[in-house]
Amino acid sequence: MTSPSASLLEVRGLTRRFGARTVFEHVSFALARGEIVSLVGPSGCGKSTLLRAIAGLDARTDGSVLLERQPQRGPSDRIGMIFQEPRLLPWLSVANNIAFAAGSRRGNDPRVDALVAEVGLPGIGDALPKQLSGGMAQRVALARGLFAEPDLLLLDEPFSAVDAITRARLQRVLLALTQAHGTTALLIRHDLDEALHLSDRVLVLSPAGDDRPSRIARDIRIDATRPRDLRDPAMNALRDTLLEGIAITAV
Ligand SMILES: Nc1ncnc2c1ncn2[C@@H]1O[C@H](COP(=O)(O)OP(=O)(O)O)[C@@H](O)[C@H]1O
Ligand SMILES: [Mg+2]
């Protein structure tokens, strides 16, 4: 039995080299079950590479990834991944896309109907991806990410390709979904205010100087209750701390 306080995910000493270049080194952190954690950092610091390593999609990363203390080797349906683009298969209906992990034509699974309603698109199951707006397609991608009922959802800048209003809506949908399903989420974001708005914790991945490997430069807990007022002095202080963590490289 696992105690309720045990970490869901433990990342231990992850290091990734591409030839002579070390992108990140000795990256370690843990996520508690149910936590929503944002990962921020300058462009090119290795966020996407790190997320792929956690998802088991990159066998060439050194270190270990443990899910409830079990070392992970390769992809697992307990870890779902959502990308910046919806990556729907154009020839499959929305329903068949959502249920794709169960087989290519499993869209009649009753859980699909429940999920399309949860992401705010009831009745859309028979539509084809080309009939959807960008925001709708990303909602479908969220539903597909949750279909296998993963313990952990990894999201790589999931809403940065949609307009600001759609993005705000999608953030709310994501929060409601993770709460309803008890899913833990690790999200890469490029907008610090969005990270502050919607996370229990923010991790900053940043290199310690030019051509130096990235490491976790800050790990900040945000205790403020939601909805949060980003103009609050406490939020300003947190934003400054994040910026310091990111900017170490830039100066
Ligand atoms: N397959 C690859 N081969 C060589 N270098 C790579 C490869 N994938 C990523 N990189 C390098 O690793 C660094 C981090 O990339 P990435 O993880 O995409 O950064 P981020 O998501 O933080 O913008 C970049 O400098 C990129 O050029
Ligand atoms: Mg990236």
Contact indicator for 194, 230 with CB cutoff of 8 Å: no
Q: Report the pLDDT averaged over residues 110-129.
A: 94
Is the shortest distance between the CB of 190 and ligand 1 below 6 Å?
no
More confident residue, 155 or 4: 155
Ligand nearest to the CA of 155: 2
Question: Which residue has a Cα nearest atom 6 of ligand 1?
Answer: 18
Tell me, using a 6 A CB cutoff, whether residue 18 lines ligand 1: yes
* Residue minimizing CA distance to atom 7 of ligand 1: 18
Q: Is 207 in the pocket of ligand 1 (CB under 6 A)?
A: no
Cα–Cα dist 201/247, whole Å:
19
- Residue 119 Cβ < 6 Å to ligand 1: no
Q: pLDDT tier at 138 (50, 70, 90 boundaries)? A: very high
Task: Report the alpha-carbon distance of residue 43 to residue 19 in Å, rounded.
Answer: 20
Stated as kind and residue range, the H or E segment containing 143 is helix 134-147
* Among protein residues, the one whose CA lies closest to atom 3 of ligand 1: 18
Q: Is residue 16 in contact with ligand 1, taking CB distance under 6 Å?
A: no
Return the percentage of the chain with pLDDT > 70, whole number.
96
Closest CA to 179 of 197, 202, 165, 200: 200
Q: Is the pLDDT of residue 24 over 80?
A: yes
Q: What is the pLDDT of the chain when averaged over all its residues?
A: 92
Over residues 80-99, mean pLDDT? 95
Task: Return d(Cα 19, Cα 117) in angstroms, integer.
Answer: 47
> Which pLDDT tens digit goes with each residue over 151-165?
999 999 998 888 999
Å from CA of 40 to ligand 2 middle: 10
- pLDDT at position 202 over 50: yes
- Can you tell me the mean pLDDT for 189-207? 93
Q: Has residue 251 got a pLDDT over 50?
A: no
Question: How large is the average pLDDT for residues 78-84?
Answer: 94
- Which ligand has the nearest atom to the CA of 207? 1
The answer to whether 125 and 93 have CB atoms below 8 angstroms apart is yes
47 lines ligand 1 (CB under 6 A): yes
**Nearest protein Cα to ligand 1, atom 5:** 18
Domain 1-78+153-161+184-251 top-level CATH class: alpha beta
The residue with greater pLDDT, 189 or 1, is 189
Rounded Cα distance between 199 and 37, Å, is: 5
The answer, yes or no, to whether residue 134 has pLDDT greater than 90, is yes
Domain with CATH 3.40.50.300 in the chain: 1-78+153-161+184-251
- Report how far ligand 2's centroid is from the alpha carbon of 190 (Å): 9
pLDDT, position 250: 46
Ligand 1 proximity of 44 Cβ (cutoff 6 Å): yes
